[in-house]
Amino acid sequence: MKNKLRLFLTTLGFLAVAQAGWAHAFLDHADPAVGSKVHGSPRVVKLWFTEKLEAALCKLQVFNESGQEVDKRDQASSAGDPASLTVSLPPLQSGKYKVVWRAVSVDTHVTKGDFQFEVSP
Ligand SMILES: [Cu+2]
């Protein structure tokens, strides 16, 4: 009986560790918002995540409809906001843009995603 209890507690311990491992950096929200239509060219794309990031290992890119990267390749976390990622943009023409991100949280777990937004005049 004691062994069974120990096994049970050990299993609980593993489950707790597994749960903690789920604390990855998921996209919380973005500006421009996911799937949104914005009037005029945004100056930056900013993403907020659910966990603090290792900014140097993260990637944030913006592509136009022809698949060309249009961002200024200057992605960084905002000062004092280590769960965010920002990349700046040149003036964008009207059209659809795709944001592709790869986030590495401080626990070194990697998450990826992409979404679109549309620029209208
Ligand atoms: Cu994680």
Q: Which of 42, 25, 22, 39 is nearest to 88 (CA)?
A: 42
Q: 49-77, pLDDT tens digit by residue?
A: 999 999 999 999 999 999 999 999 999 99
* 82 CA to centre of ligand 1 in angstroms: 15
* 50 CA to centre of ligand 1 in angstroms: 10
Domain boundaries, the chain: 25-120
d(CA 117, CA 34): 6
* pLDDT score of 14: 52
- The structure's pTM equals 0.81
* 26 CA to centre of ligand 1 in angstroms: 9
d(CA 20, CA 5): 23
* 51 CA to centre of ligand 1 in angstroms: 8
> Which residues are CB-neighbours of 29 under 8 A, at least 6 positions away?
47, 48
Fold of 25-120: Immunoglobulin-like (2.60.40)
d(CA 121, CA 119): 7
* 109 CA to centre of ligand 1 in angstroms: 4
